[in-house]
Every structure is written in structure tokens, then in C-alpha cells.
């Protein structure tokens, strides 16, 4: 949380600077009083550290920490969603619980509300179709484009998938090339292969 936002939240919550300032209690109070529009935390996963962010509408961002610095992710959310961005791990408990179950092989379908604020109209169609690809299965870029009514837009669909702000939960890793090759992935091809291997979805 940046210093300016922290001071704004302190003022709004009626807090004062003190050596014994309890950041955790402050975050909880700020979240409870609706002073944060975006809550975030980090999550150590088998595919690396993830930054998770949620709004009152739902999960809005999952970012691979080694692919995009947290500061830049937070700045973008501040600019596009709201400057009231607060580290509040408790708000993400259910997201972390489901991610834990997924990586342990116990969860095959996420049940989380999603906030599509960071996605344009075409991307929303592409990712909405992608979200319906079952665990352990794959679809091709061409199939996704055809299914949204744009059969000639396979390349554009690929670009939309590359900009997916909610990977893993919206499983863009399940979209591969028509040749069976993995294709690109925002988290890198190694992670795409790792996720598909976890799900048993690699083509033979």
C-alpha cells in the first residue's frame, strides 16, 4: 500500500500514527468499513508466488510475481479500478483455499465470483468461453474463436488469452494450438505445461 493511500485510510478510519500501529488490524478495519475497493495478498503456489486481488464484485487479478512486479500490478489496478487498494489477506481466504485444493488435485472447478473490469468486450467473450473448458481437457485457439462466433479471429483470441488477468481460475492454459503444440502463455510455457500435467490435459 502506498504512503498516500495509507494516510488517506488512516484519516478516514480515524486512526493516528503511533509506534505500535497494527497494520493487520488497520487493514481489517479499513476493509470492514468499505475503505478499500481492491484487496490483495500474495500466495505461494507450486507454480510460483502469485499476487491475488479481489473487489466487491469478485476476483479481479492473479499475477505471476516473477513476470510482473507487484508494484506495477497494483499501480495498474489503482489506475483502472480504484486508488483505494489495500493489502488485506483475510478478504482472499476463500480464493487461497480453492487454489490450495486445486494444486492438491482435489478441486476441478473453481467456484468464485469474478470481476471482469480489466477485460474488454472481445476478451470477455474469449475468456468466458475459456472458463467453460473442463478440467483435464483442452481446446484450440481456432475452436475458441469459432465458438464465440469469430472463426477467423484465432490470432485475436490468442492475444486475448495472453492478456488474461485471472489465469489458473480462468484456465487459458487449456487452450493450445491446432497442431497440438502448447502455444503461448502469460506465465511462460513451462507453467502452462506444469498446469496441464497437473490436470492430465497434455495431448499425447
175-184 per-residue burial string, b: 16 or more CB within 10 A, e: under 16:
bbbeeeebbe
What's the pLDDT score for residue 16? 45
Same domain membership, residue 98 and residue 127:
no
The stretches in the chain having pLDDT less than 50 are 15-16, 18-19, 21, 204
What's the pLDDT score for residue 142? 96
Residue 164 included in any domain = yes
Residue 70 included in any domain = yes
What's the pLDDT score for residue 201? 75
**What CATH number is associated with residue 71?**
3.30.160
Give residue-wise pLDDT tens across range 31-47.
555 568 999 999 999 99
What's the pLDDT score for residue 64? 97
The label of the residue with cell 468461453 reads 129
**What CATH number is associated with residue 127?**
1.10.10.10
CB-CB contact of 156 with 150 (8 Å): yes
Give the number of domains in the chain. Answer: 2
pTM confidence score: 0.83
Q: Which domain holds residue 68?
A: 3-103
Residue 109 included in any domain = no
Three cell numbers written together for 188: 511462460
Question: Is 99 an annotated catalytic residue?
Answer: no
Give residue-wise pLDDT tens across range 104-144.
999 999 999 999 999 999 999 999 999 999 999 999 999 99
What's the pLDDT score for residue 147? 96
Q: Which of 157, 169, 172, 198 is catalytic?
A: 172
Amino acid at each position: 500500500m502506498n504512503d498516500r493511500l495509507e494516510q488517506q485510510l488512516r484519516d478516514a478510519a480515524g486512526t493516528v500514527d503511533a509506534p505500535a500501529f497494527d497494520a493487520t488490524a488497520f487493514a481489517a478495519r479499513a476493509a470492514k468499513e468499505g475503505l478499500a475497493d481492491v484487496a490483495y495478498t500474495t500466495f505461494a503456489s507450486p507454480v510460483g508466488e502469485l499476487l491475488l486481488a479481489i473487489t466487491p464484485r469478485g476476483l479481479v487479478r492473479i499475477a505471476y510475481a516473477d513476470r510482473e512486479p507487484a508494484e506495477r500490478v497494483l499501480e495498474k489496478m489503482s489506475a483502472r479500478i480504484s486508488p483505494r487498494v489495500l493489502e488485506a489477506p483475510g478478504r482472499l481466504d476463500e480464493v487461497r483455499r480453492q487454489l490450495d485444493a486445486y494444486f492438491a488435485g482435489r478441486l476441478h472447478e473453481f467456484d468464485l465470483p469474478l470481476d471482469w473490469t480489466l477485460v474488454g468486450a472481445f476478451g470477455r467473450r474469449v475468456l468466458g468461453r475459456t472458463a467453460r473448458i473442463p478440467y483435464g481437457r483442452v481446446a484450440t485457439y481456432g475452436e475458441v474463436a469459432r465458438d464465440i462466433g469469430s472463426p477467423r479471429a484465432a490470432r485475436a483470441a490468442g492475444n486475448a488469452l495472453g492478456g488474461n488477468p485471472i489465469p489458473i481460475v480462468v484456465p487459458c492454459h487449456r487452450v493450445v494450438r491446432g497442431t497440438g503444440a502448447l502455444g503461448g502463455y502469460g506465465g511462460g510455457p513451462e507453467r502452462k505445461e506444469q498446469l496441464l500435467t497437473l490436470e492430465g490435459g497434455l495431448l499425447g
